[in-house]
């Protein structure tokens, strides 16, 4: 049996963590939870797991917002798939969000979350092809 893609979820609200975790699990993903942006960046830098995408709330407790967390994740991997989830600050996405990301507004259905993550993974940046010898 193939391993499930591991999705790093950054959410500081325990109830929403459970909702996202359940939706991803039922959708065929393996969720890993971080309660803050700082924790997420530590996990990404440590590469303890092969994370395939980042699902994160924009308004997080702690020093780092979701915007800042996503930017740092992209410094680690410029093509890292990012899905923002928010109830209120979505209007800032065009100016604050990283390119080639998706924004999902709360409340959302489990199927919407799974579809958005699948879309990110399926539309990832293709690897560069080697140049033909001259």
Predicted TM-score of the model (pTM): 0.88
H or E stretch covering 39 = helix 37-46
Residues 30-85 have pLDDT tens digits of 999 999 999 999 999 987 679 999 999 999 988 999 999 999 999 999 999 999 99
Question: 102-116 pLDDT, tens per residue?
Answer: 999 999 999 999 999
């Amino acid at each position: 049996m193939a391993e499930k893609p591991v999705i790093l979820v950054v959410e500081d609200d325990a109830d929403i963590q459970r909702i996202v975790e359940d939706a991803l699990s039922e959708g065929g993903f393996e969720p890993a939870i971080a309660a803050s942006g700082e924790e997420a960046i530590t996990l990404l830098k440590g590469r303890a797991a092969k994370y395939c995408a980042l699902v994160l709330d924009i308004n997080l407790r702690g020093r780092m917002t979701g915007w800042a967390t996503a930017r740092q994740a992209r410094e680690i991997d410029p093509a890292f798939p990012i899905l923002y989830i928010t109830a209120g600050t979505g209007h800032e996405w065009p100016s604050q969000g990283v390119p080639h990301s998706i924004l999902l507004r709360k409340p959302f259905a489990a199927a919407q979350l799974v579809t958005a993550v699948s879309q990110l993974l399926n539309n990832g940046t293709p690897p560069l092809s080697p140049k033909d010898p001259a």
